[in-house]
Each structure stands twice: as C-alpha cells, then as structure tokens.
Amino acid sequence: MNLWTEIHTALSVGRTGTVRGAADSLGIHRATVSRHIDMLEERLGTKLFIRHPNGYTPTEMGRAIIQAGEQADAAISVFMGHVDRSCQDLTGVITLSAVARAGSVIRPAVKTFCEAHPGVTVRFEQTVDLPRLELGEAHIAVTEGAKPAHPDYVVIPFFEFQLGLFAHRDYIERFGYPDTIGALSKHKFVGSRRVYYDVDATGQLGDYMTADRLVLESHSPSITLDGILSGLGIGLAARTEAARHTELMEMYVLDKPLMAPVWISTHVDMHRTRAVSEFLRCLKHARPKPNVSSRRPRSTSLNRARRPTGLRAQTVS
C-alpha cells in the first residue's frame, strides 16, 4: 500500500508537535493534515498520536512511523540530489494561469525560466477565476483578491497592488467631483461589487456601488480600466496603472489604503515537482519589493492638487 504522502504528513506532525505547525511546514490546509493522520491510523489499525490541548504526542507506533519517515526522507533527499545533478534538462509543458494585471511582474520570471530551461514550453493563459488545479487545468495559478481556500492547494503570498478610485476627466466634467465618500451614492461605477468587497474590509465601497449605479460589470481589471478610460464611471484601478494615464483623476485618498493581494497557488501533488519548483523560484525572484508595491502617496491632498478648477459640483440623478 502506498501511504508515503500520509507518512510524510505524520513525520511533519511529529517534528512540529501540532497540526498547525505541520500545515505551515508542508504548505497545506490543517484539514488535510488531520485527514492524512486519520487515514494512516485507519489503514494501520492503531493510534499514532495522543491528542491533547497543547498538541500531538506520538505513541510507540507513532515514534516508529516517524523514525521510518526520517530514514525515507533522508534517502529521498540523497536520491533527488543525484537526480538534480544527472538530469539538468527539463522538458515538456508547464501551464501558468494568471490575472492580466500581474503580467508585468510575471513576464521577467517567464523569461528567466525559459532561458534556463529551453526544453520546456510555458503555456501562459490569462484568467480571472482560480482554475481547478486538481483537474490539471493549470500547474501554477496567480490570482488576485481573496486567498484561495481549497484544502489541497499550496497558497503563497506573492505581492500586493495598491488600489484607488479613479475616473476620467471627461466623466468629472460631466457629473462633478465627489468630495466625500457619501457623494459616491450619486455616481456611476464600473467593475465588480465582489472586487470592492474583497479589497475593502469595511464594505463601504461595495455598499455605495449598488446594482442600479453599475453601468459596466466585469471582474477583469483590464476591462474595468477600459471602462474608466471611456468615461463610463468611477472604478478601482491599480495606482501603477492609473499613473500611466494623465487624464485619470483620483477621487480622494482613503484613510486606509485599499490593497489587492496576489496569490500563487499550486496543487499539493505538483508543488514539489522539479518543473513547478523551478518556476516558483523564478516567480519569487521576480516578486516586487513591498515598499514599492504598497507605497502610499506622500500627501493626502493628492486629489485636491489634481482636481481641475472650474468644475461644477454636478451629480448623476
């Protein structure tokens, strides 16, 4: 019977003494750790750990399993070292799924990986939703917003975008400038209510962005930005993207910045394969510095400085 995955999990529980510690060490969900231990105990017909409030203590059989796991882990590490030295050339296809907004960060990683492993084809697909990694829809997924919660996914924080509320100058000239957050209730929006709630823990922005005020609905950041640039309404955009368009105006600077986290996800069964590990290494190397991606504007008077003079305080009825 092949129980190496479960034995490896038991080894990690023995090393850390807790389910949480094992989950953090392996990069999997705590429910997965508990399921592996229960499955192993059921197959062996004996208890491996004594559960108590402070953690897990191995039984005599548990200590035997941990010792066997240590020996196997050491042997596999030696073997993998030989494999890495003797099989330097990777071949095949690796599928990467990523949100369009992360493209500028991911492209250098793709270039580095392709140059190091010319025998591998990178299939790069843009998407908004998380692909089903357990079904092989992608090897690596880069998503934005809420952290993926699948118990068998290894999820790594990548970086964060700082967002702001922007509108085109033409829109402001027609409908006025919302000086306060309350004034947003009389304006039109583009984008997705789900995204607004994902990035704003207080829910204020999603509450103002009611269905009757949503003129263009999309989960795609690029389509949302197109809607803002078209003057259809106010929308969320990354500061780095908005800075490229001088005709865009920020409505006001919020007291607390809106951050859109970006996550790297792999399936636990694929996470330690050499091709995936190599690509993850390239992605981590390309990760932006935190003080660059999340920097706030120096002055909270940014919007007053950018607000055009002579505009009427007109709102949409």
Question: According to the model, what pLDDT value does residue 120 have?
Answer: 92
Q: What is the CA radius of gyration of the chain?
A: 25
Residue with the bigger pLDDT between 200 and 56: it is 56
pLDDT at 151 over 80: yes
Residue 237, Cβ neighbours under 10 Å: how many? Answer: 27
Lowest mean pLDDT among 14-23, 69-78, 99-108: 69-78
pLDDT at 79 over 60: yes
Contact 47, 60 (CB under 8 A): no
Question: According to the model, what pLDDT value does residue 164 have?
Answer: 84
All residues at 6 or more sequence positions from 34 whose CB lies less than 8 Å from its CB, including other chains: 19
Any idea what the Cα angle at residue 187 is, between residues 181 and 190, rounded to 5°?
A: 100
The mean pLDDT of 291-308, rounded to a whole number, is 39
pLDDT tens digits, residue range 214-272?
899 887 788 889 999 999 999 888 888 888 899 999 887 666 667 888 899 999 988 88
pLDDT tens digits, residue range 165-199?
899 999 999 998 887 777 888 899 998 877 766 66
| Angle in degrees, 0-180, between the axes of helices 4-16 and 19-26, rounded to the nearest 10 | 120
Question: According to the model, what pLDDT value does residue 290 have?
Answer: 56
CA distance 110 to 114: 6
Contact 311, 173 (CB under 8 A): yes
The mean pLDDT of 144-153, rounded to a whole number, is 87
The mean pLDDT of 98-108, rounded to a whole number, is 85
Contact 121, 113 (CB under 8 A): no
